[in-house]
Chain A
Amino acid sequence: MADVATVVLTGIGLFFFLAGTAGLMRFPDTFSRLHALTKADNLGLGFIALGVAFQAATWREVALLALIWALALLAAGTVSQLVARAALGEEETR
Chain B
Amino acid sequence: MDGPKFTAILHRALLLGGVWVVLTGGEAKGLALGAAAVPVALWMSLRLLPASAPLRLWRLAGHLPRFLAGSLRGGIDVTRRALAPRLRLAPGWVEVPLDLPPGGRAAMGGELSLMPGTLAAGSRQDRLLVHVLDTDAGFERTIRDAAAAITAMTDGAPR
* Chain A interfacial positions (CB closer than 8 Å to B): 15-16, 19-20, 22-23, 26-29, 31-32, 34-36, 38-40, 42-44, 60, 63-64, 67, 73-74, 76-78, 80-81, 84-85, 87-88
Name which of B23, B87, B110 has the most chain A CB atoms within 10 A of its CB: B110
In this assembly, does B9 line the interface, its C-beta being within 8 Å of a C-beta of chain A?
no
Which residues from chain B contact A64 at a C-beta distance below 8 Å?
22-23
Our pick among A19, A28, A39, A87 for the contact of B114 (Cβ within 8 Å) is: A39
By beta carbon, the residue of chain B nearest A31 is B131
Which residues from chain B contact A34 at a C-beta distance below 8 Å?
113, 119, 131
Q: Is the CB of B114 within 8 A of A40?
A: no
In this assembly, does B54 line the interface, its C-beta being within 8 Å of a C-beta of chain A?
no
Q: How large is the interface on B (under 10, 10 to 19, 20 to 34, 35 or more residues)?
A: 20 to 34
Q: How far is the CA of A81 from the CA of B82 in the complex (A)?
A: 21
Q: Is the CB of B75 within 8 A of A78?
A: no
Shortest Cβ distance from residue B75 to the other chain A in the assembled complex, whole angstroms: 3
Given contacts A31-B91, A77-B111, A78-B110, is CB(A84)–CB(B121) below 8 Å? Answer: yes
Chain B 119-149: CB-based contact to A (< 8 A → 1; otherwise 0) = 1111000000101010000000000000000
Q: Is the CB of A81 within 8 A of B19?
A: no
Q: Is the CB of B131 within 8 A of A20?
A: no
Which residues from chain A contact B82 at a C-beta distance below 8 Å?
19-20, 22-23, 26-27, 36, 40
